[in-house]
Amino acid sequence: MMKKIAIQKGLDDLKNNLKSRGYEVYDINENKEVEAIIYMADGYSIPYIDSFISMDTGFEINRNKDVLLINATGKTLEEIEYIINNKLYSPLFE
């Protein structure tokens, strides 16, 4: 099954590479149902964070609609693809 990815504006090379590998890729502002959202952040601010449902909004979160948030900063295409396909991040603390 083709994976659906939302990606931050300005990451055109990554977007094109993911498309060429068979992913359905959308702009993050298109509000599509996706399996992963890829963005760039400096560790202090996350763009578009207001667009994501937070734990304190009162929405029922048991909807089986998990979405990976992937910070592309410092990651290669292969690392991002590994995260998408395995739904696995490296440990936060090593």
User: Is residue 15 within 8 Å of residue 34, measured between CB atoms?
Assistant: no
Q: Is 94 within the bounds of a domain?
A: no
Q: Is 93 within the bounds of a domain?
A: no
User: Is residue 50 within 8 Å of residue 44, measured between CB atoms?
Assistant: no
What domain count does the chain have? 1
Q: Is 81 within the bounds of a domain?
A: yes
pLDDT digits (tens, 9 = 90+) for 1-60: 578 999 998 999 999 999 999 999 999 888 888 888 898 876 555 555 555 544 444 444
Q: Is 46 within the bounds of a domain?
A: yes
Domain extent at residue 78: 4-86
Residues 75-93 have a mean pLDDT of 80
Q: Is the pTM of this model over 0.75?
A: no
Q: Is 91 within the bounds of a domain?
A: no
Would the pLDDT of 90 be above 50? yes
